[in-house]
Amino acid sequence: MRILKIIKSGHMTHRRAFAGMNRLLLFTFPFFLSLIWLGCSDFINVDPPKNNLISVTVFKDPATVESAMANLYYSMREQGMTSGSFGLTPVLSIYGDELDYYGFNADQTQLYNHNHSADNNVLWGWWQQAYYLIYGANDIIRGVESSNDLSVDEKKAFHGQALFVRGYVHSLLVSLFGDVPYVNSTNYRENNTVARMAEEKVYDSIIRDLTDAVELLEGIEPISKRRIWPDRYVAKALLARMYLYTENWEMATSTASELIDHFPLETNLSNTFLKGSPETIWQLAADENFPNNTREAGTLIIQTVPGQTYALTDALLASFENGDLRYDNWIGNVSDSNNTTTLYYPHKYKAGVNEKESLEYSILFRSAEQVLIRSEARAHMGNLTGSQTDLNSIRNRAGLSNTTVTTAHGLLEAIQRERRVELFAEQGHRWFDLKRTANAGRALTDLKPNWQETDILLPIPEAELEINPNLLPQNPGY
Amino acid sequence: MTINHKSVRWRHIFVCCHFFLSISMTLSAQDLLVSGQVTDGHLPISGATVLIKSTTKGVVSDFDGRYSITAKPTDTLQISYLGYTTLTIPIQNRSTINVILKEDATALGEVQINAGYYSTTDREKTGSIARITAKDIELQPVNNPLGAMQGYMSGVNIVQNTGVPGGGFNVEVRGKNFINGVSDPLFIVDGVPFGSQSLGDFQVSGEIFSGNISPLNSINPNDIESIEVLKDADATAIYGSRGANGVVLITTKKGRAGKTRFDAHLSTSIGKVSNFLDLLNTKQYLEIRREGIDNDGVGLMLESSLYDFFWPDIKLWDNDRYTDWQKELIGGTAYRNNAQLSVSGGSAQNQFLISGGYHNETTVFPGDSKYRKASIHSNFTHQSNDNRFKINLSTNYAYENNLMPQADFTAKAYSLEPNAPALYDDQGNLNWENNTWENPLASLEERFEATSKNLITNAMISYTILPDMELRSSMGLSSYQFDTYRTMPSSARNPGYGLTPQSYSYLTSNNSQRESWIVEPQINWQKKWDKLSLNILIGSTFQQESTEKLILRGRGFPNNELLLNIAAAQEIQAVSNLDSEYSYIAIFGRINLKVLDRYIINLTGRRDGSSRFGPGKQFGNFGALGMAWLFSEETFLKNSSILSFGKLRASYGTTGSDNIGDYRFLDTYTVTGSNYDGITLVKPTGIFNPLFGWEENQKLETALELGFFKDRLLMNTSWYKNRSSNQLVGIPLAATTGFSELTGNFDAIVENSGLELDLLTVNMRSETFKWSTNFNLTIPKNKLVAFDGLEASTFANRYVIGKPLTILKLYHALGVDPKTGLYQFRDYDGDGNYSSIGDRQWVEDLTPRWYGGFGNSLSFGNVTFDVFFQFKKQKAYNTVRFDATPGFKKNTSVELYNRWQQAGDQNPFQRASAGMAGGQDLGALQQESSASVSDASFIRLRNISLNYKIPYLINKSEVNVYLQGQNLWTLTNYIGPDPEQPNPRLPPLRQITLGVQLVF
């Protein structure tokens, strides 16, 4: 129905339509005039809201790009896989053999009992958050590349960091879910129907991104010296981990070596997780408002029994050798009022919610991991002495004597044991180690009556399969 | 005599004014001065129009119903008053003519209906307009005008969200038109568009109101003269891009000429929850709990005291204790008091009305929660002596204060273990039972307070420049300020956590406001010829609206007493600071042509521009054609003794919807209010999509309106079919895009069709007894007609072509396997397990199949008795939706006691489990299955009232006393809290009200 012919606008542009109106009004109602002055089509062009920036504007100024970059690290700290509250640290610890779960969250209970299904909300949250970060990184890459207002160094710094973030998040996804989409564009049409990429190819892409990132970040100083913004070393640390996962022992050795030289181990175990620890390669700054310190401490430290959510498993406690200083320094305990039950908890992060000072940040990469990476890679390459040296540097720091193992096979087992007690309740290291060394079944069959071999991969979130059928088939067993 | 029947509507005055236009003020020699009094046979009627027939000359009766007019001795007087049958009396040379007007129950041709930019009558309207007036609103003890409309209008489906005072409603006019997005109609209060969208924020009001706090609460129902709902294309096309979901016009009361009149209205109500669920008692509960733990194979753990903390309900709490938590938490009595005083009056040139109202309401919850509202309404009208210049100013202001616990206790009342510990210890402090439970009353320590201030004001100025041409402009302003906060003191947390006010106590506040102005200049020209009359309206709209929302959170307070002072917080975080602007411009017009008083053509159109769309997509055209044929005026039917009125009407046209929020086409980064390393954050919040445009809605309607036996039986049947296309849809995106949805136009067509029937009968009418009945019925049908590429789209698992938009896809429950005691479902895809994608194929639809209302009004002399029933045929989620597995650590419906226990048992609920068994959680699937939906049809006695008018107190004063009941009785098969409110939220209350109205 184009009844508007009455007001003769049907065949006119809107400007002229109102001008026609205008003439009529001029004769009749001077009052109209002042309103017409407001303009017609201009009248409905409103300024952008003050809390929003149009995308193009963001990439005109290095300060706003920094804000967009900072948002990624903030989000990593608060949500998803890398966060201390519902992230890999607590959840993979209960999925594996490190923590028992006493809480009432249905999704975590499922994962603890290994009767989880594809509609598990923790997993969906991880998935969504991961690709949100990846989009953020890709948009920064896109924006920075097309910007004419940033200097070459600024572009390198942002581009390099964004590549690292993209690689890092994909590395966690591929370890958890197997084949996953590798997303490197911001085009929503493509990304909405993207298919899964084979695991090896994902690793190739990650390594390519990280190599580029190292190159771009070469010679670029991070925004802060507190190791809270990823720099070239952080990219290298992840690269070393990726080489280990893909069994590229040579590259793993050489890459880890650079980091070990640069980030010496903290000799005092009670200082390892302080924010100024020399062995930290990358950490996420704590929220200066609240909780001032890490989410990990708030999540893992048991305040009262009953009232606990997580507690260390007997299996983990038993895996410490006698005299291991890490047992004394990194494990806390609390008993109920009758002293009938004593529960143990990870106490690497000690600063709780009532701590006013900011003492600790959430550490994502530290050089103890690099030492163990090199030790493992060397054992595989047959450099047993080198491997022992690395292993011993970790053991000695924990007050333990040198390893007595001399065979490559024995060393590899010793390294896994060492990783277990060194890296426990940290970013899911234990689970990833069980998975890549094909030891998960052996470790979990007794502990988890519902254990199935297919639990080695987590299910792709059901809601995502519904929206994007190209993600099918689901991982086996779900 | 009810109060409002005799008040003069401004529209009435407006129509009358045309008659005054050509009054010649000179008295010629042949003229005669006729005077007299207009009464209803009992009391004088002031404000009645006395007109010389076939001229435009007339007067209005004064305070005592007296009038005088100069006329020729051969003239005929036509005397009319709203709600009364119009009389025509030849003067026949008399100088005194007293007139007695008879009340007309139907008054088709008299009642002016507000159609927004113009007014019409039931007789001449070409569109579909439902209406409710003060008479029906006044005696209902509702806080929100929407509450008074429930059940009274065909085609309008209103559902109350919560029984907590100050909550919201869902409104749908003729079904859900759009796949995503809001189905709210456009609300216009006294000519000013009113943002009906809640400014509540989930972080503050989420738990008590789901964030939904209706701004319409701030309109006092007692100040409302009428509410009109515009439904079809003919009525809504003049609202163009905002008319697709219908238009609700709220008109407030006006003063009238006559003696100064005082109206006082006082009422008080008591309310209770109307239905409690049957839950397990302690013995049943513990029996199932233990059985569940045994079934899960961890019975041995139960023996050991080592794990006592794991099941405090069994091992640590008193196993003989029983508390009826529904009684404890939602079993209280809510009181409601309402007081209203208004003064009105004026002369023929100036009329005024000022009224003030106060309303307070408590809840059924423990604690001293309360809701208060104070409102002021005023209206002033002035006409120049020559009646060419007119001005009307109406102002509504309301202040609301709502102090509630921060969470609704209803869900807790349904789920707390029956042997859960006492709420308070011996010292009267909150009891935490050695940190083994979360005390629900801790919530009372957490305050929620909402304060709103709402101002709506509108000035309408008009000037008649030529006898048949009027210029007018309406200028409106609305300002709505909404402030809420919610506190979380450390004292509301289990002391075992060792939280201190310094480390934990929070204050979250939401300070929001919405302001808008609108100017609508218009020209109206009308001309009457012998057999033809023409009415042309051209107008223009300029509107701007701005919304701001600031959410602050303070943490860490020196002590909990200082918690309300955000300045005392150790850290203050600006969680978000949103602002948005909306600009809107339009020209609109109407041509109404009437031939021989029986053929009517009504043409309306609008061209709209809106800032919500990207460049090149900002403008759109809308219009409609409406036609009516009053066939009862044709000569062959004119003298029928049975059929007194007959009209056939039809309309077709296009409207649109831009109800999608501001700035949605931009790709933006938003400042989040948080920081990392001291750097303020910006996060990506939108994907650029300049191509999105209007949603379109095409409406077709035909209706047959019949009146029989001198309009004592009126029947209105309409059939409509609306098709909505170019759907603006928040298309769910795969997470791999980085976003969860994108708003864009989608090539999908949704059809709403239906049949509406309205019946009004005057069954008996005599001097002392009157009985009238009204009935309305709506049979709606919703269908997704087309959806390009549905199979491949992200909606593939939500919609089915040919089925309604409101369907749910569920598992098909096949009961409990007598062998294993576990739920079984139909394995649609035959892959041997149950998964959401392959096996949720059972389709249910929760929209009503039909609904309506049925009312009777009886009056014997001074006693009036009204009774109104609302009915709905529908399905809803039942209690299986809450729980399907017996044995969890929470109370459930007593139905779950009827569980499978051993092989061979045939019971509706599966074997008990404490949630520690392995395997898929079949109970969770049962909650999402066909078993969780069942019939929730109901007939509800929504309103019953008995009104007694005390006769002859003092001269001309009037006292009415009434007793009213709301939701007193419900007939339903529904298994759950309330068929209207199936969620675990406080259902609408059952209320009894005693009220008194005085007029002097």
- Residues 55-84 (A) with a CB less than 8 A from some CB of B: 55, 58, 64, 66-68, 70-71, 73-75, 77
Residues B56-82 have a mean pLDDT of 81
Candidates B28, B25, B17; CA nearest to B51 is B17
**Chain A interface disruption, residue of B736, B790, B920, B927, most A CBs within 10 A:** B736
Find how far residue A54's CA is from the centre of its chain: 27
Measured at the CA of A327, the angle between CA A321 and CA A333, to 5 degrees, comes to 130
Task: State how far the Cα of B34 lies from the Cα of B544, in Å rounded to an integer.
Answer: 52
CB pairs under 8 A between A and B: 298
Taken as a whole, chain A contains a residue count of 478
- Residues 709-748 (B) with a CB less than 8 A from some CB of A: 732-740, 742
Task: State how far the Cα of A88 lies from the Cα of A122, in Å rounded to an integer.
Answer: 10
- Per-residue confidence band for B400, with pLDDT thresholds at 50, 70 and 90: very high
Q: Which of A388-397, B494-503, B526-535 has the lowest mean pLDDT?
A: B494-503
Examine the domain organization and report whether A115 and A76 are in the same domain. yes
**Strand, coil or helix: what is B147?**
helix
**Do B734 and A75 make contact, defined as CB atoms within 8 angstroms?**
no
Examine the domain organization and report whether A85 and A220 are in the same domain. yes
- Per-residue confidence band for B376, with pLDDT thresholds at 50, 70 and 90: very high
Examine the domain organization and report whether A38 and A166 are in the same domain. no
Task: State how far the Cα of B211 lies from the Cα of B408, in Å rounded to an integer.
Answer: 12
Helix A408-422 vs helix A429-436: angle between axes, to the nearest 10 degrees?
Answer: 160
Q: Which of A323-337, B193-207, B857-871 has the lowest mean pLDDT?
A: B193-207
**Do B836 and A119 make contact, defined as CB atoms within 8 angstroms?**
yes
Examine the domain organization and report whether A266 and A168 are in the same domain. yes
**Strand, coil or helix: what is B837?**
helix
Please report the pLDDT score of residue A10 as a whole number: 34
Is residue A378 within 8 Å of A415, Cβ to Cβ?
Answer: no
- Residues 276-315 (A) with a CB less than 8 A from some CB of B: 285, 287-290, 303-307
**Strand, coil or helix: what is A305?**
coil
Q: How far is A159 from chain B (nearest CA, A)?
A: 17
Contacts of B700 in chain A (CB under 8 A): none
Task: State how far the Cα of B826 lies from the Cα of A119, in Å rounded to an integer.
Answer: 19
Q: Which of A217-231, A309-323, B679-693 has the lowest mean pLDDT?
A: B679-693
Q: Which two tokens stand for residue B768?
A: 């002392």
- ipTM (interface predicted TM): 0.85
Q: Is residue A207 part of a domain?
A: yes
A146 to chain B, any CB pair closer than 8 A? The answer is no
Find how far residue B657's CA is from the centre of its chain: 19
Task: State how far the Cα of B255 lies from the Cα of B253, in Å rounded to an integer.
Answer: 7
Q: Which two tokens stand for residue A57?
A: 């504007």
- Per-residue confidence band for B352, with pLDDT thresholds at 50, 70 and 90: very high
**Do B556 and A290 make contact, defined as CB atoms within 8 angstroms?**
yes
Please report the pLDDT score of residue B744 as a whole number: 77
Q: Is residue A368 part of a domain?
A: yes
- Residues 441-480 (B) with a CB less than 8 A from some CB of A: 465, 471, 473
A158 to chain B, any CB pair closer than 8 A? The answer is no
Q: What residue ranges in B85-153 does DSSP mark as E strands? A: 87-90, 99-100, 112-114, 119-121, 129-133
Contacts of A197 in chain B (CB under 8 A): none
Chain A's closest residue to B547, CA to CA, is A49
- Per-residue confidence band for B556, with pLDDT thresholds at 50, 70 and 90: confident
A38 to chain B, any CB pair closer than 8 A? The answer is yes
Q: Which two tokens stand for residue A167?
A: 């690689």
A381 to chain B, any CB pair closer than 8 A? The answer is no
Is residue A378 within 8 Å of A390, Cβ to Cβ?
Answer: yes
Task: State how far the Cα of B674 lies from the Cα of B668, in Å rounded to an integer.
Answer: 17
Chain B's closest residue to A114, CA to CA, is B918
**Do A4 and B605 make contact, defined as CB atoms within 8 angstroms?**
yes
Examine the domain organization and report whether A27 and A150 are in the same domain. no
The total of structural domains in chain A comes to 2
Q: Which two tokens stand for residue B620?
A: 């759109």
Task: State how far the Cα of B855 lies from the Cα of A121, in Å rounded to an integer.
Answer: 49
Q: Which two tokens stand for residue B860?
A: 């014997």
**Which is more confidently placed, B349 or B268?**
B268
Task: State how far the Cα of B684 lies from the Cα of B187, in Å rounded to an integer.
Answer: 33
Q: Is residue A464 part of a domain?
A: yes
Is cis: bond before A306, omega within 30 of 0?
Answer: yes
Q: Is residue A419 part of a domain?
A: yes
- Write the residue in B312, B521, B738 that is nearest to A32 by C-beta: B521
Please report the pLDDT score of residue A312 as a whole number: 96
Contacts of B310 in chain A (CB under 8 A): 102, 306
Q: Which two tokens stand for residue A415?
A: 């390294």
**Do B579 and A50 make contact, defined as CB atoms within 8 angstroms?**
yes
Examine the domain organization and report whether A182 and A255 are in the same domain. yes
pLDDT in tens, B779-822: 999 999 988 878 767 777 788 899 998 899 999 999 999 999 99
Examine the domain organization and report whether A34 and A132 are in the same domain. no
Amino acid identity for residue B576 in this structure: S
Mean pLDDT of chain A: 88
Kindly state the helix (H) or strand (E) to which residue A383 belongs, with its residue range.
none
- Residues 241-260 (A) with a CB less than 8 A from some CB of B: none
Candidates B522, B745, B577; CA nearest to B14 is B522
Contacts of A110 in chain B (CB under 8 A): 921
Q: Which two tokens stand for residue A406?
A: 């001399």
Task: State how far the Cα of B718 lies from the Cα of B753, in Å rounded to an integer.
Answer: 11
Candidates B516, B480, B512; CA nearest to B192 is B516
B675 to chain A, any CB pair closer than 8 A? The answer is yes
**Chain B interface disruption, residue of A5, A28, A43, A44, most B CBs within 10 A:** A44
- In three-state form (DSSP H/G/I as H, E/B as E, the rest C), the secondary structure along B649-662 is EEEEEEEEECCCCC
pLDDT at B28 over 50: no
pLDDT in tens, B652-666: 999 988 777 777 777
Domain range for A23: 3-44
Task: State the sign of the Cα–Cα–Cα–Cα dihedral A54, B744, A464, B808.
Answer: positive
Is residue B258 within 8 Å of B352, Cβ to Cβ?
Answer: no
Q: What residue ranges in B766-840 does DSSP mark as E strands? A: 769-787, 807-810, 813-816, 823-825
Is residue B458 within 8 Å of B476, Cβ to Cβ?
Answer: yes
Q: How far is B206 from chain A (nearest CA, A)?
A: 20
Where do runs of H (alpha helix) occur along A146-192? 152-177, 188-192
**Which is more confidently placed, A304 or A170?**
A170
**Strand, coil or helix: what is A235?**
helix
**Do A44 and B604 make contact, defined as CB atoms within 8 angstroms?**
no
Please report, rounded to a whole number, the percentage of residues in chain A having pLDDT higher than 90: 74
HSE-up of residue A402 (Cα within 13 Å, Cβ side)? 8
- Per-residue confidence band for B688, with pLDDT thresholds at 50, 70 and 90: low
- Per-residue confidence band for A18, with pLDDT thresholds at 50, 70 and 90: very low
Task: State how far the Cα of B115 lies from the Cα of B31, in Å rounded to an integer.
Answer: 39
A123 to chain B, any CB pair closer than 8 A? The answer is no
Residue A10: which region, alpha, beta or left (left: phi > 0; alpha: psi -120 to 50)? alpha
Q: Which residue has the tokens 């069709």?
A: B753
Task: State how far the Cα of B558 lies from the Cα of B632, in Å rounded to an integer.
Answer: 79
**Chain B interface disruption, residue of A173, A192, A475, most B CBs within 10 A:** A192
Is residue B729 within 8 Å of B660, Cβ to Cβ?
Answer: no
DSSP classification of residue B40: S
**Do A55 and B684 make contact, defined as CB atoms within 8 angstroms?**
yes
Measured at the CA of A95, the angle between CA A93 and CA A97, to 5 degrees, comes to 60
pLDDT at B5 over 60: no
- Contact residues for B528 (Cβ-Cβ < 8 A; gap 6+): B534
Where do runs of H (alpha helix) occur along B256-392? 282-295, 299-303, 312-315, 325-330
* Terminal alpha carbon distance of chain B: 13
Please report the pLDDT score of residue B950 as a whole number: 85
Contacts of B525 in chain A (CB under 8 A): none
Please report, rounded to a whole number, the percentage of residues in chain B having pLDDT higher than 90: 43
pLDDT in tens, A160-216: 999 999 999 999 999 999 999 999 998 888 898 999 999 999 999 999 999 999 999
- Contact residues for A187 (Cβ-Cβ < 8 A; gap 6+): none
Examine the domain organization and report whether A72 and A199 are in the same domain. yes
Q: How far is B482 from chain A (nearest CA, A)?
A: 20
Find how far residue A250's CA is from the centre of its chain: 26
Q: How far is B63 from chain A (nearest CA, A)?
A: 37
Q: What is the CATH topology of the domain spanning B4-104? A: Immunoglobulin-like (2.60.40)
CATH code for the domain of A62:
1.25.40.390
pLDDT in tens, A112-142: 999 999 989 999 999 999 999 999 999 999 9
* Terminal alpha carbon distance of chain A: 53
DSSP classification of residue B310: G
Q: Is residue A125 part of a domain?
A: yes
**Which is more confidently placed, B434 or B318?**
B318
Q: Is residue A394 part of a domain?
A: yes
Is residue B488 within 8 Å of B206, Cβ to Cβ?
Answer: no
B413 to chain A, any CB pair closer than 8 A? The answer is no
pLDDT in tens, B814-855: 999 999 999 999 999 888 888 877 888 899 998 899 999 999
pLDDT in tens, B228-261: 999 999 999 999 988 889 999 999 999 887 788 8
